[in-house]
Amino acid sequence: MMNTKGLWMVVVLFLLLSVTGVLCWDFKTNQHLGTPGVRIVAGNLYNEKSELVRTNIVELPLVVPGFRSEPLPLNTREQEWLPDDTLYGRRRYFSLTDSFFGDLNVVVMERDRTSIHKPQYCLPAGGFHITSEETIELPVTLEDGTQLQAQLIRASREMEIKPGEKRVVNAMFIYYFVADGQTTPNHLDMMWRMGTDLLLHGVTERWGYVSFLAWHYPGQEKQTLERCKEFLKVAVPEFQLPVRS
């Protein structure tokens, strides 16, 4: 009886391992990459050392009414931290009428989900002190008629205004996540959707992390936020494909 019982245990264990192996093989061979929620085009991206690091980029608008723009290089630390297949789009936009300017940045993952990270980690690492966070609506109408939701981080950082003189400057940091046909302002929700699509449909969604950073001095918070919203209202439809909330 002991030998028979032991044999059955071996058989059951073998069957379990076989089924697990088949499921893993099927999962690996049938999963595929989804379509990004932003436009990807051929283009060169350079790092701070003027080295060519990408030949595909997110197609950010060269011109937004009332603004001129210039490309921003990829930070070498970010290049080292993020996976080699990560795609980027980044430009700085300057108002033609006043001193307002902001940095528009998009990071798109391929197979490695670690391309997408939480700003709550990278902002403090860059010397920022986060003072508050909240979810806001941007004046960008989505396919289902809702407004694009984003997360707003208010932060501050000490900066050298001129040699020997430092000053604390405030920043508005607006961000959200977008993939094929969907968007969310919440990192946890994005991770849940990513895992669900992978397990149920075998699709690795190519999520993008969209952010806009603008500086301002104390007392300019309300005006700066409105300027950010006005800019994103025009800029987002230029690079983002149709999505729902």
Amino acid of residue 94: F
Higher-confidence position of 148 and 5: 148
pLDDT band at 80 (very low <50, low <70, confident <90, very high): confident
In a domain? residue 13: no
For residue 142, give its domain range: 31-239
Cα-to-chain-centroid distance, residue 152: 14
* pLDDT of 50: 92
Where would I find the beta strands (DSSP E) of the chain?
Answer: 32-33, 40-46, 52-58, 67-71, 87-95, 101-108, 129-141, 147-162, 165-179, 182-184, 203-204, 208-216
In a domain? residue 91: yes
In a domain? residue 18: no
Whole-number average pLDDT of the chain: 85
* pLDDT of 229: 97
pLDDT by residue (tens digit) across 174-187? 999 999 989 999 99
In a domain? residue 10: no
Over the range 50-59, which residues count as b (16 or more CB within 10 Å of their CB) and which as e? eeebbebbbb
C-alpha to C-alpha distance for 158 and 168, rounded to whole angstroms: 4
* pLDDT of 18: 46
In a domain? residue 16: no
Q: What is the CA radius of gyration of the chain?
A: 23
Higher-confidence position of 222 and 159: 222
In a domain? residue 188: yes
Per the structure, the count of domains in the chain is 1
In a domain? residue 23: no
In a domain? residue 19: no
| Close Cβ partners of 160 (under 8 Å, ≥ 6 residues apart) | 166
* pLDDT of 46: 93
* pLDDT of 27: 42
Residue 227 pLDDT > 80: yes
Residue 173 has a CB neighbour count (10 Å cut-off) of 20
Cβ–Cβ under 8 Å, residues 123 and 92: no
